[in-house]
Structure 1
Amino acid sequence: MSEKPSPAGAATVTDAEARKVAFGAFVGTALEWYDFFLYGTAASLVFNRLYFATDDALVSTLAAFASFAVGFAARPLGAVVFGHLGDRIGRKKCLIITVTMIGVVTTLIGLLPSYLSIGVAAPILLTLFRLLQGVAVGGEWGGAVTLAVEHAPPERRGRYAAMPQIGSPVGTLLSSGAFLAVSTLPSESFDSWGWRLPFLAAFPLLGIALWLRRRVEESPLFEKLLEEDARASSPVRQVFTTAWPQLLVGAGTALLGVGGFYLITTFVISYGTTTLGMPRWLLLTATLVAAVVEIVVLIVGGRLAERHGPARVTVAGALGSALVAFPAFWLIDSTAGLAVIIGVTLVTALLSVPYAVSGALLTELFPAHLRYSGVALSANIAGVASGFVPLAATALLTLGGGSSVLPTLLLVAISLITAGCGLAAPRFFSSRDKVKTVETAA
């Protein structure tokens, strides 16, 4: 274990401490995404029938995806609330609150009676719970990335910033794997109690996440901000008034990693089962395989960010996603098992490249005293748009008469937006934080 020397007045961190913080951020983020992704899968397979039941299957699916989108619409509220608190009272305290919120809310979803039991109260409560999920996730990711980066030696920030990102595919693996397991139950058992088990599992997982988070130290840079009284009095307002170009560019670079992911998972699961008539286990298996590959891509992407810079890596991954969009959907449209798995995995791997470096890129856009707010707001502005991607893709599918051409063009458009913002990002990077403190340096 080697200790990194620090400049005068800066906090000293060790590699072991940086790894512990990054691992704690990863575990908490994995739980957050497990809970959040459960809803997306359930919206495709369960909620459309048990909570938004109508005589028209398409209308039920659209209603379920609309409730799915509510979680994303609520994420900026979480970014505002926890961004302000994170830049004022500390990163660690906020992360303990967010992980507790989403663990409790997800458990309550697993206990919620269906429409047949309590009528219209069921979809209303389900949508409310989804909103609370969104608020919690809106404050989670920005804080996790900020905490990991501020504990990391500058020359290794790419790999540590990628650790919270790995929580996303791990959350996907856990949620898809849980649903794949219960999907083997008879239909009546699955509908009555089987689908609830993955949601109820969130409660014991919450205990593990809380134990790890409580062991993590507060950011040394934030403690320095406290010592020097260099905190922003109103960080969210300052982000909107003085750092809005970074905010827009940051949101654009984050769009593909979130919006593209939900198009190729949540939408494709619905499209594959409803329009193409494929078995749900095949789509869930494709998602699982893609998640495993994504973990490898995220690890490699973090290292590439350290070598080539996060902006260049973002552009490369976004352009690659645009190029493979149509071939990937042709493979999915074939309905052949192996081809479907390859198609989903191919797109997921490429759109994961910008996602891998998103934490490193966004934290470079904002100074320390605005970082939690700026990173959280950027990611969640992208998240709002992303939440409506499955809904938009389903509407485009209907408009195109069941053809995948228009949803594929949507993926291409999202990829090009991220590529353009990746090209613009470096002009907003600052060589040092414009506050009275000095960050930990190698």
Structure 2
Amino acid sequence: MAVTVTEAEARKVAFGAFVGTALEWYDFFLFGTAASLVFNRLYFASDDVVVATAGAFASFAVGFLARPLGAVLFGHLGDRIGRRKCLIITVALIGFVTGAIGLLPTYFSIGVAAPVLLTLLRLLQGVAVGGEWGGAVTLAVEHAPKEHRGRYAAMPQIGSPIGTLLSSGAFLLVSLLPPESFDAWGWRLPFLAAFPLLYIALWIRRRVEESPLFEQLLKEDELASSPVTEVFRKAFPQLLVGAGTAFLGIGGFYLITTFVISYGTANLGMSRSLLLTATLVAAAVEIVVLIIGGRMAERFGPGRITLIGGVVSALIAFPTFWMIDTTNAALVIIGVTLAVACLSIPYAVSGALLTDLFPAHLRYSGVALSANVAGIVSGFVPLLATALLTVSDGRSWSAALLLVVIALITAACGALAPRVALARDEVVSRG
């Protein structure tokens, strides 16, 4: 099905996907940072630090449990009524929910209702994000010239480190406040900033055109009647392999950021400003890796790049945590940056790989479900890493081993992806 799109139009859509995704991830990452620094003390208050941290990370994980629901809901709608409409809804929902978190009273004001309401808002946030990324990548790829899909598919990925820079930078600034001011109102400011950012995101998203490929499917009456069901019935191998390829970029990232922030402050006694600075530096380097990775996907194929990124990430897992354990500022920043750079290699090509696994009439659903199946497990990675610390007597080798396992799963699925993609043509014949 040939659809001609100009480079100028492709760039416009890719930029719209990038900006919207950056603002979405800013909102979503705020919760992860706050779970490490704020929610464990103000919403899941307990005399036991481990219990409080586990409660905060459990609420963090709830957002990932809700993401598949968002993938199912918006995947179905995106493959039935259009990609653009769904992306406007998702960005509006997550912006409103994030701003509402900034207004939520703490446990010390309303008791147990505080963590309950926080968890409910996190659920809504997860639903929105569950439908966001798959649609953004699908829209960008379906507007892109075939020979340049790798670079355009990487544009929404760049929204992730930008979101990290914005969220970590915001928390780094408010962390400079006196502790009593930070706890009383300072931590709320990054969340409240979601309201003006929401306006920007909506303005940009409304200017993005619908996918010409989707419009052609609609015109020719080639839409799937139940796209989510068809993905499970006819593209289940693609779904599993796609989820595996996305695992390192999501789960590994939260291990090196969310878990390390908690581990570094609670177990190693490092300052939160140092760890947030490490996250900022890593995010800046990640942008470069994502840009290069998108171009490499066009030359060598996204499956091969995913395999390489998984193997490299496994090799640097233990050295990364050895550097973090020194608590030396320079080595901590290098360790976090090295790990994020390596796990960003498969993340850079994830959009190109996943969109190639599924035919157009199932693409939004297939891509969203793959990413969010990985997201379910990834949401529990910080919680699992925290639990493993008790097994390893507080030493980091257990977390490093967990990163190795995640990396090797992604490497194996990257090797399988090209073969599984060949089965895509069988899905097109829906008879």
Same fold (TM over 0.5): yes
1:295 to 284, 287, 290: 287
Please list the CA deviations of residues 9-38 of structure 1 after superposition, one character each: whole Å capped at 9, or x if unmatched: 743311010000000000110011000000
Query: Does structure 2 conserve the Cα–Cα contact (< 8 Å) formed by 1:88 and 1:231?
Result: yes
Q: Match of 1:270, as an amino acid?
A: S
Aligned to 1:3: none
1:282 to 265, 274, 289: 274
Change (3 A) 1:436 1:127: closer
Query: Does structure 1 conserve the Cα–Cα contact (< 8 Å) formed by 2:235 and 2:424?
Result: no
Distance in 1 (alpha carbons) for counterparts of 2:58 and 2:240: 25
Change (3 A) 1:432 1:51: closer
2:369 to 372, 377, 380: 377
Aligned to 1:139: 131
Aligned to 2:107: 115
Change (3 A) 1:434 1:91: farther
Q: For 2:293, what is the secondary structure of its paired residue? A: helix
Aligned to 2:357: 365
1:407 to 384, 399, 404: 399
Aligned to 2:15: 23
Distance in 2 (alpha carbons) for counterparts of 1:340 and 1:407: 15
Q: Match of 1:230, as an amino acid?
A: E
Distance in 2 (alpha carbons) for counterparts of 1:388 and 1:158: 30
**CA-CA distance at 1:430 after TM superposition:** 4.1
Q: For 2:96, what is the secondary structure of its paired residue? A: helix
Count of residue correspondences: 429
Query: Does structure 1 conserve the Cα–Cα contact (< 8 Å) formed by 2:23 and 2:197?
Result: yes
Aligned to 2:298: 306
**CA-CA distance at 1:416 after TM superposition:** 0.3
Please list the CA deviations of residues 372-400 of structure 1 after superposition, one character each: whole Å capped at 9, or x if unmatched: 00000000000000000000000001211
Aligned to 1:156: 148
1:351 counterpart = 2:349: no
1:174 to 166, 170, 190: 166
Distance in 2 (alpha carbons) for counterparts of 1:338 and 1:55: 33
Aligned to 2:222: 230
Which structure 1 residue ranges, 5 or more long, are not aligned?
Answer: 1-8, 438-442
| Counterpart mapping for 1:8-157 below 5 A | 10-157=2-149
| Counterpart mapping for 1:233-272 below 5 A | 233-272=225-264
Q: For 1:230, what is the secondary structure of its paired residue? A: coil
Query: Does structure 2 conserve the Cα–Cα contact (< 8 Å) formed by 1:247 and 1:378?
Result: yes
Q: Match of 1:371, as an amino acid?
A: R
Distance in 2 (alpha carbons) for counterparts of 1:154 and 1:431: 19
Distance in 2 (alpha carbons) for counterparts of 1:287 and 1:219: 35
Cα RMSD, aligned residues only: 1.2
TM-score of the two chains, using structure 2 as the length reference: 0.98
Q: Percent identity?
A: 78
Q: For 1:139, what is the secondary structure of its paired residue? A: helix
Q: For 2:251, what is the secondary structure of its paired residue? A: helix
Distance in 2 (alpha carbons) for counterparts of 1:224 and 1:434: 21
Distance in 2 (alpha carbons) for counterparts of 1:77 and 1:11: 31
Distance in 1 (alpha carbons) for counterparts of 2:304 and 2:358: 18
Change (3 A) 1:174 1:235: same
Query: Does structure 2 conserve the Cα–Cα contact (< 8 Å) formed by 1:396 and 1:407?
Result: yes
Query: Does structure 1 conserve the Cα–Cα contact (< 8 Å) formed by 2:15 and 2:155?
Result: yes
Q: Match of 1:250, as an amino acid?
A: G
Distance in 1 (alpha carbons) for counterparts of 2:186 and 2:424: 52
**CA-CA distance at 1:431 after TM superposition:** 9.4
Aligned to 1:208: 200
Query: Does structure 2 conserve the Cα–Cα contact (< 8 Å) formed by 1:368 and 1:433?
Result: no
4+ long deviations beyond 2 Å: 9-12, 430-437
Which structure 2 residue ranges, 5 or more long, are not aligned?
Answer: none
Please list the CA deviations of residues 362-421 of structure 1 after superposition, one character each: whole Å capped at 9, or x if unmatched: 000000000000000000000000000000000001211100011110000000000000
Aligned to 2:388: 396
Q: Match of 1:409, as an amino acid?
A: L
Q: Match of 2:386, as an amino acid?
A: T
Please list the CA deviations of residues 145-200 of structure 1 after superposition, one character each: whole Å capped at 9, or x if unmatched: 00000000000000000000000000000000000000000000000100000000
Distance in 1 (alpha carbons) for counterparts of 2:209 and 2:23: 20
